[in-house]
Amino acid sequence: MSSKKITRALISVFYKDGLEPIVHQLAKHNVEFISTGGTQEFIEKLGYKVTPVEHLTGYPSIFGGRVKTLHPAVFGGILYRRADAGDVKQAAEFKIAPLDLVIVDLYPFEETVAKGGSEEDIVEKIDIGGISLIRGAAKNFNDVLIVSSRNQYAEVLELLKNKNSSTDLSDRKRFAALAFNVTSHYDTAIFGYFNQEQNIPSFKSSYSNGKALRYGENPHQKGIYFGNLDGLFDQLNGKELSYNNLVDVDAAVNLVREFEGETAFVIIKHTNACGVATGSSVKEAYLKAFQADTVSAFGGVLASNQKVNLAAAEEMNKLFFEILIAPDYELSALELLKSKKNRIILKQKQRLSATKQFKSLLNGVIEQDLDLHTDTKNDLKTMTKRTPSSAEVNALLFASKICKHTKSNTIILAVEGQMLSSGVGQTSRVDALRQAIEKAKSFGFSLKGAVMASDAFFPFPDCVEIAHQQGIEAVIQPGGSIKDQDSINFCDAHNMAMVFTGFRHFKH
C-alpha cells in the first residue's frame, strides 16, 4: 500500500530545536518512541514514554558512544521489506518490530572543522550510526519515512498534520532523496578534510543550498546559485540578483579587496573594470573611477571597500547603476540610494574565503588554485637602466592589480591611484594596447607620464614602441619572452623604466 500509518518512530538527534511539535504531533496518534541519550531525556521531559534503544539491542552504549544503534534489532526494523514474505517471516522469527519513521541528524563535522577543532575532536564528529540509519531508512523508502536534518522539520510537521501521521510513497521517496543529499554532502566534507594532506586527484564539491535564479546568462538558459549568499551579504534594497549580477558582483568584490588599507572604488561591466581608483574619501575615489569611462558605468556594478557616506551617495545617485556593494552605509546615504526601488544595495559581511575555482568543460571539470598572488614591491625587478620613481612604482602596482582581474589579453593604462583606460579580451596584445589608448583619449586623458601594465610578457617590442609614442614612461609585466631583451633595449634607448614581476596573470 502507498499510504502507511506511523506506529513506531526512532528519534535520535544532535539538534533538538524544532523537534518538540513533531513529538507532540506523533504522540497524538499514539506513536511509540524509541530513542537514545539526550533525545530520550528530551522526549521524556515532554511527558511521553520512551523505549531506550538498549532495551531493543540488549547492549548499552559502548566505546564512548561510538556504538549505540548498530544492531539487527534496530536496522532490521528499518530495512525489512513489509511486502516480502521472507522478510516478514524472519522479522517474526527474530522478534524484530518495524520502525516506520526515523528522525536522525548527523554530528556537526563541518562546524567543528570551521571552528578549528583538534584532529581528535574532528574525527569524533564523523558520524557512523547516524549516517547508517539515514541510509538504511532512505533505502527502504517503500516502508519508512526518513527525516535527516532539522532543516526538514517544518516540512515534515506539515505533512504529519495534513495526513494524521501517515505518509504516502511519494512523501517517503522525496524525503529519501533529501536524505541522500545530506549524506553525500557530509561524506564530501569528510573527504575534503582528509584530502588536504593526501591530495588524491578526485573532484568532489558539494553545496547544499541551491536557489533558482530568474534565468541563466541568457533568458533561454536555466540558472541556479549554490551557496550561502545570505552569509556573505545583507541585501538592503532592490530586486533579486540574477545570474549575470552574481558574476559581476564576484568580479567587483574580488577586485576591490586588492586595495586593503586604502579607500578604493571599482566599477564593473561584464566582469571587467571600466573604472578603478583610490582616494582620500569614497566620494573622491568614486569620481576618479567614474572618469575613466562615463559611458560603460551606466548600468554597472559598483563596489567600495569603505563605508559609503551621504556625500559619496549623492554623486552615485546621479548615475543609473544596477548594484552597489560596500561594508556599510550611513543611514542618510542608504535612504537616498534606496530611492530607486530596483537598485540592488548589498552590505558585505564577510571576506571571500575560497582558494580554488573550477568550471565544466569537455564533459569534465577543471580545477585550479585561485590567483591569490598580488604583485608587491618585493616582486619587482628593474630591467632597464632607469629605475622607476616612487610614484611610478605605486602606479605600476596599482595597474597590475587591475590587470590581474581583467580578461586576457589585457593592457591597463594608469597613473598613481587612477585607471585611465583598459584594453580587454583582445586576441593580440597590440590590439589591447591600441584599444586602451583610443579609450583614454576618448575620455580626455593625456597619457604623458602614465604607466602601462600587461598581464603577460611582450613577445615583441611593438607594445613598448607604441606606448612610448603616447608618452607612457614606465611599464610592468611578468617577463619571460625569449625576446625580452628587445623590449628592454627599446626602453633603455628612450629613457623608459621597465620592471618584471615574474608572475603572469592570465584570466580566461
Sign for the CA dihedral angle at 425, 429, 433, 435 comes to negative
List alpha helices for 265-415, DSSP H: 282-291, 310-316, 331-337, 390-404
Instruction: Work out the average pLDDT over 395-405.
Output: 98
DSSP β-ladder status, 50-52 and 32-35: parallel
Whether the Cβ atoms of residue 307 and residue 328 lie closer than 8 Å to each other:
yes
Handedness of CA 477, 478, 483, 486 (dihedral sign): positive
How high does pLDDT run on average in the chain? 95
Q: Does pLDDT of 290 surpass 70?
A: yes
Quick one: 202 exposed, middle or buried, by C-beta within 10 A (0-12, 13-18, 19+)? exposed
The Cα–Cα gap between 337 and 359 comes to: 35
d(CA 124, CA 108): 10
Strand, helix or coil for residue 164: coil
The stretch 336-355 carries a mean pLDDT of 95
Q: Indicate the pLDDT class of residue 2, thresholds 50, 70 and 90.
A: confident
What span, in angstroms and rounded, lies between the C-alpha atoms of 31 and 165? 9
Phi, psi of 250 (to 5 degrees): -60, -45
Look at residue 265 in the predicted model and tell me its pLDDT: 98
What is residue 257's predicted lDDT score, i.e. its pLDDT?
96
Helix (H/G/I), strand (E/B), else coil: 1: coil
Going by pLDDT thresholds of 50, 70 and 90, the confidence category of residue 54 is confident
- Percentage of residues in the chain with pLDDT exceeding 70? 100
pLDDT value at residue 346: 98
Please determine, for residue 111, whether its predicted confidence score (pLDDT) is greater than 60.
yes
pLDDT in the model for residue 13 = 94
Mean pLDDT of 281-301: 97
Answer whether residue 59 shows pLDDT above 90. no
Q: Looking at residue 1, what is its pLDDT?
A: 52
Q: What is the mean pLDDT of residues 342-357?
A: 94
Do residues 379 and 360 make contact, with C-beta atoms less than 8 angstroms apart? no
Return the active site residues: 139, 270
Q: What CA–CA distance (Å, rounded) separates 366 from 13? A: 38
The pTM (predicted TM-score) of the whole model is 0.87
Q: Report, in this order, helix, strand and coil percent for the chain, each rounded to 5.
A: 40, 20, 40
Q: 461-477: per-residue pLDDT in tens?
A: 999 999 999 999 999 99
Please say whether the beta carbons of 240 and 211 come within 8 A: no
Residue 317 confidence (pLDDT)? 97
Q: How many other C-beta atoms can be found within 10 angstroms of the C-beta atom of residue 426?
A: 18
pLDDT tens by residue, 255-287: 999 999 999 999 999 999 999 999 999 999 999
